[in-house]
Amino acid sequence: MINFTDVFFLAFAFMVIVSALMVIMSKNPIQSALYLVLAFFGSAGLWIMLNAEFLGLMLILVYVGAVMTLFLFVVMTVNFSINPLKNHRSKIIFGLALVAILLIALLKAISLQHYTPLINNAAILDPSNTHHLGSLLYTTYVYPFEIAGVLLLTAIIAAISLRGNAIQRNRKATDFAAQINVKANDRLKIIKMVAVQKTFEPLEPTE
């Protein structure tokens, strides 16, 4: 018996799997990025169905809003050469076989048990998911939370310093230190020249 929730679950799961497949199969990286956005939306729906409302919304806000925008910027900045796969065929087949074995093992391990249906749990929703998550994050997990903040700061500094050097080199602004330290000799050069009287020939009338 399929009820209303199952329809939503199936729709979101289908959306996630199809868009994940399109991410790895489409030739154009812009299409890949846009399909990844769709996969994030589907996952956010699934997470919200699992009562992780805060994280589902964070996935949309942070990932779709910030990270995928960054991806799209880079995809549009960088010029790609879109080549078909041709070499390293044996390595690819080996890798695919490895993934297939891993997937079969995973699915076998999963589907043998845990057929209990998921119901609405009270503990992770008390009083609301965001409230519960926040109160835990600022008390028990406050130290990892601070470390995560430092990590983000590190990422900011790293990204800016990676790109900052190039910006510093190419910028068209005034260098104030050089401007203050300038001397008269740098700007004005007096050269000795021999004074020569040049004689002009009178213009001939053309007509």
Partner 1 sequence: MMTLSAFLILAALLFGIGLVGMILNRHNLVVLLMCIELLLLGVNTNFIAFSHYLNNIDGQIFVFFILTVAAAEAAIGLALLVVLYQHRGTIDIHKMDTLKG
Smallest distance, partner 1 to C-beta of residue 49, A:
7
Tracing tokens 């050069």 back to the chain, one arrives at 189
Q: Report d(CA 132, CA 54) in Å as an integer.
A: 10
- Beta carbon of residue 201, minimum distance to partner 1 (angstroms, whole number): 58
Selected from 41, 90, 96, 183, the binder of partner 1 by CB under 8 A is 96
Cβ distance 13 to 46 under 8 Å?
A: yes
Instruction: Select the residue interacting with partner 1 from 11, 142, 146, 163 (CB under 8 A).
Output: 163
> How many residues of this chain bind partner 1 (CB under 8 A)?
84
Q: Work out whether 95 is an interface residue with partner 1 (CB under 8 A).
A: yes
Enumerate residues 172-191 that contact partner 1 by CB under 8 A. none
Q: Which residue has the tokens 């549009």?
A: 76
The reply to whether 64 sits near partner 1 by the rule CB under 8 A is no
| Closer CB to partner 1, 143 or 200, in the complex | 143
The only residue of 11, 118, 142, 182 in contact with partner 1, by rule CB under 8 A = 118
- 9 Cβ contact list (under 8 Å, min separation 6): 46, 49
Amino acid found at 56: G
Scanning 12-20, 177-185, 194-202 for contacts with partner 1 by CB under 8 A, the matching segment is 12-20
Q: State residue 123 phi and psi, 5-degree precision.
A: -65, -40
* Residue 75 contacts partner 1 per CB under 8 A: yes
Q: Which token pair is 14?
A: 């289908």
Rounded-to-integer distance, Cα 185 and Cα 201, Å:
38
